[in-house]
Structure 1
Amino acid sequence: MRELLERKPSATLALLIRDTATQSAQQRADAFIPLAERSRVKVFAGDVSQPNCGLDSAAYDRLLAETTRVIHSAATVRFDHTLDEARRTNVEGTRHILDFAGGAHQLRSFAYVGTAYVAGERSGLVREDELVVGQSYRNTYEQTKAEAEALVQSRLASIPGMILRPSIIVGDSKTGVTSSFKMMYWPLKIYARRLWRTVPGYSDAVLDIVPVDFVARSVVQLLFDEAALGCTVHLCAGPLASATIQQVAHRAMEYFNGPEPRFIDPKIFFALVRPLLFLSLWGRKRRVLRDGSAYRDYFTMRMQFDTSNAERLLRPAGVSPPPVLDYLDHLFHYCVASDWGRKSISTQ
C-alpha cells in the first residue's frame, strides 16, 4: 500500500479488510495508513470468502464502476486448517475476487499473489510455467493455493491478469522490520534463546526467502507493466540469491554467539529421536518439540525456483532480490531489538 501511494501520487486506493471481534476494518487500517494519506485510502469492511466479498450492493457496485486495478493477496496461511476451511478463503475467496474483476469494466490489470510453494513436494528446478505436474502437497495451504492458482489461470483469457509467486517473505532488507515472526523466525528464536540447536534437516536444503520490500516493489511494478499480463512470475531469491540451511545457521551462530548447530537426518529424528525426547523432556523444550513439527518439511527442501520471467520483467526497472546472506544481520538485529515482536521500536 505504501509503495502504491508513493509511486502513484494521484491514485486512490480501496482496501477490503475484515472486521475482527475487537476492531473494525477502519480501525485496523488506521494502524498502518500514514495520516497524511488517509484521504486517498478508502476502507471497505468485507470478507473475500463471502458472496460479493461481504459488501453491500451499493459498495460493491461503486467499486465495480471505479476500479481499474486489483491486487488479490487475501489468504489463510495456516498449515493446520482442514481442507474445507482452507478452501473457503483461498479458493472460494479467489473465485469471488475473480468474479468481481470480471465485472469491473475499467479493469486494466489483476495481480494474484500466490506462493512459490504450489510446487509442493518437488525437487530440482521449478519453472514459472509449471503448476500441476503430479506433485503431492505438505499441507492444505499449499494444496488450496495451487487450486486457487489453477482457477486464476482459467480466467486469464477474459481478465487482464498475472500470477505472482513469492517464496517465504521476511522483513525489510534494510531495516529488518517485520509484522510476523513465523516461518524462519520461530526456529531462529529458539536457537537464539539456547532452547535448541539440533536441526532435523539437510545441511544443503535450500532456503529461498525474499524481503518484503522487494515483494512490494515487484507487485507494484508488475501491476502497471502490460508485458506482465498473462505471465506467472516467481518473486523468489532463485538459484543466484538463495542460501542453504547450513549457511543461514552459520550466520545465526556468528550473530547470536551460539553453539554450532547440529544437523540430523529428519527421517531418523522424527521416527526415533523425537518420540524418545518427547517422553523425557518437559516444559519449554517439550513445547519446542511439539511446535517444531510444523516446520519439518521446510528444512529438507532441495528445490530451486526458476526466475526467468522475474529477471526479464523486473531487472530493466532496477528491481531484483538481494542475496539472502546480504541482509540476514538486519533481520536478526530487528528480532533482538524488538524482543521478537514484543515491543515497538523506531526504525527512523
Structure 2
Amino acid sequence: MWGENFSSLIAEKVTVVAGDISFSDLGVHDSNLREQMCGKIDAIINLAATTKFDERYDVSLGINTLGAKHVVEFAKKCSHLQVLVHVSTAYVCGEMGGLIDETHYKVGETLNGVSGGLNIEAEVNLAHAKLKDLTTMGSTQKEITIAMKDMGISRPTLICQ
C-alpha cells in the first residue's frame, strides 16, 4: 500500500526506545519520556518472549508472565491507544491440536479447569526466595542457572498458561 514511501512513513511514525518488559513501565526510567510516550502511542504490539523450554524460571516468569502484565499496565496509561496486540508464547492454548478458535476467558478461568489460576505474586516470591537461598549458599552463577532452569522445567504449566 505504501510502496516506496513505506520507509519514510516508518521513520516518521516509529521511535525506538530502550526498555525491558520484565519491569514496570517497561523499564523506561525517564518520567518525561514515559509521559510523552503515554500521550502519543496509539498502537502497541507485544511479541517479546522467551521460547526456550529450559529457560531459567526467573527469566521466563519475568518476560512471559510479568512482561505481559507490564505491557497491559502500560497500555492502560496510553490515552490515545487504539489497539494492543499480544502475540503469545507456545502452549497458551494447552496442548490441543487442529484449528483453535480464539476464546475469551474470564478472570479465574483456566485452560485445564483448575480454579484460582496463576498466583503471579506467589510465583515471583518463590523465584526470589530460591535465588536468595542459592546466593546465601554461595552457589556459582553456573549452579544458579542450572537450579533455576530445573525450577522452570518442574513448573511448566504455570508459565505456559
After TM superposition, the score normalised by the length of structure 2 is 0.57
Q: Is the 8 A contact 1:71 1:110 kept in 2?
A: yes
Q: Is 1:109 the counterpart of 2:87 in the alignment? A: no
C-alpha root-mean-square deviation of aligned residues, in Å? 3.3
Residue 58 of structure 1 is aligned with which of 32, 42, 59? 32
Whole-Å separation in 1 of the counterparts to 2:58 and 2:39: 33
Tell which has more relative contact order, 1 or 2 (C-alpha 8 A, sep 6+). Answer: 2
Whole-Å separation in 1 of the counterparts to 2:9 and 2:79: 31
> Offset at 1:97?
1.0
- What does residue 281 of structure 1 align with? none
Runs (4+) of structure 1 moved beyond 2 Å?
Answer: 34-41, 82-85, 119-128, 130-133, 139-146
Whole-Å separation in 2 of the counterparts to 1:124 and 1:37: 36
- SS across alignment from 1:43: coil
Q: Deviations over 1:159-218 (max 9, x none)?
A: xxxxxxxxxxxxxxxxxxxxxxxxxxxxxxxxxxxxxxxxxxxxxxxxxxxxxxxxxxxx
- Which letter maps to 2:91? Y
**Is the alpha carbon distance of 1:141 and 1:61 closer, same or farther for their aligned partners in structure 2, counting shifts above 3 Å?**
farther
**Is the alpha carbon distance of 1:105 and 1:36 closer, same or farther for their aligned partners in structure 2, counting shifts above 3 Å?**
closer
- SS across alignment from 2:15: strand
Q: What are structure 1's unaligned runs of at least 5 residues?
A: 11-33, 147-348
Q: Is the 8 A contact 1:48 1:94 kept in 2?
A: yes
- What does residue 97 of structure 1 align with? 71
- What does residue 231 of structure 1 align with? none
**Is the alpha carbon distance of 1:81 and 1:118 closer, same or farther for their aligned partners in structure 2, counting shifts above 3 Å?**
same
Q: Is 1:41 the counterpart of 2:14 in the alignment? A: yes
- SS across alignment from 2:92: helix
> Offset at 1:114?
1.0
- Which letter maps to 2:25? N
- What does residue 94 of structure 2 align with? 120
Whole-Å separation in 1 of the counterparts to 2:72 and 2:10: 28
After TM superposition, the score normalised by the length of structure 1 is 0.29
Bigger Rg, which one? 1
Higher strand share: 1
- What does residue 71 of structure 1 align with? 45
- SS across alignment from 2:32: helix
Q: Is the 8 A contact 2:40 2:80 kept in 1?
A: yes
- What does residue 54 of structure 2 align with? 80
Q: Deviations over 1:290-320 (max 9, x none)?
A: xxxxxxxxxxxxxxxxxxxxxxxxxxxxxxx
Whole-Å separation in 1 of the counterparts to 2:80 and 2:65: 24
> Offset at 1:119?
2.5
Whole-Å separation in 1 of the counterparts to 2:12 and 2:50: 29
Q: Is the 8 A contact 1:72 1:112 kept in 2?
A: yes
> Offset at 1:37?
4.8
Q: Is 1:144 the counterpart of 2:159 in the alignment? A: yes
Alignment length (residue pairs): 115
> Offset at 1:89?
0.8
Q: What are structure 2's unaligned runs of at least 5 residues?
A: 114-152
Q: Percent identity?
A: 28
Q: Is the 8 A contact 1:77 1:141 kept in 2?
A: no
**Is the alpha carbon distance of 1:71 and 1:124 closer, same or farther for their aligned partners in structure 2, counting shifts above 3 Å?**
closer
- What does residue 146 of structure 2 align with? none
Q: Deviations over 1:250-288 (max 9, x none)?
A: xxxxxxxxxxxxxxxxxxxxxxxxxxxxxxxxxxxxxxx
